[in-house]
Amino acid sequence: VNETGTAASLERQCEEMAAILGVGGPVREEVLRAALADPTYAQHLLVCRGDDEFLGQLMANPPRAQEPADAGAIGTGALLRRAAESLARWAATGFSGVPQERYQARLESCAACPHLQAPPGRRAALYALAGAHAHDRSVCGRCGCGVAAKARRASDTCPEPHPERPGLNRWGDPIPATS
């Protein structure tokens, strides 16, 4: 990729990140690089979506990146957006989590699920934004969330019907009736 292409790609990624965070205009390059280098900062940005004051503070003060991010490897898509939405939902509930026993049961269900997958290769860096590990099978292929974080959130549920238990999802929770 030549310099012009790299700059255009970086600009596009700053715009994509702004869209994910729900802010107008592209985020600053420092914010993008810091989010990719520091998943904790990235997660803070995501959970503050919709809160202009907190988000503004975070974006005005990105931590110094330890190393340059591989911006060329970034992409975005529907799965990542859904993961971001899930984090926003969790933030709206006051960050409540499920008891440890339930958390383990959820993780076991995910581990046995055919939809569990590795983060899409070119999107692994952005998946760090959603708290997923960039290796092994750690992302739900149905909703795009990193399951280690998703299973902890009381606001989250499994989107896939259980193959043998009608009316329940793969986590064993009742599936809400659709109107």
Binding site for ligand SF4 (CB under 6 A): 109-110, 113, 115-116, 140, 142, 147, 158-160, 170
Instruction: Copy the structure tokens of residue 176.
Output: 């809400």
Nearer to ligand SF4, 43 or 169 (CB): 169
Query: Is 138:124 a contact under the CB 8 Å cutoff?
Result: no
Nearer to ligand SF4, 102 or 115 (CB): 115
Nearer to ligand SF4, 115 or 133 (CB): 115
Nearer to ligand SF4, 72 or 159 (CB): 159
| Burial class (CB within 10 angstroms; exposed 0-12, middle 13-18, buried 19+) of 25 | exposed
Query: Is 11:26 a contact under the CB 8 Å cutoff?
Result: yes
Q: State in angstroms the smallest separation of the CB of 51 from ligand SF4.
A: 26
Q: What does the alpha-carbon distance between residue 16 and residue 103 come to, in Å, rounded to a whole number?
A: 32
Q: Give the burial string for 157-173 (b: 16+ CB within 10 Å, else e).
A: bbbbebeeeeeebbbee
Q: State in angstroms the smallest separation of the CB of 89 from ligand SF4.
A: 14
Instruction: Copy the structure tokens of residue 56.
Output: 């503004």
Query: Is 149:131 a contact under the CB 8 Å cutoff?
Result: yes
Token look-up 């993008």 returns 32
Nearer to ligand SF4, 44 or 142 (CB): 142
Q: State in angstroms the smallest separation of the CB of 5 from ligand SF4.
A: 36
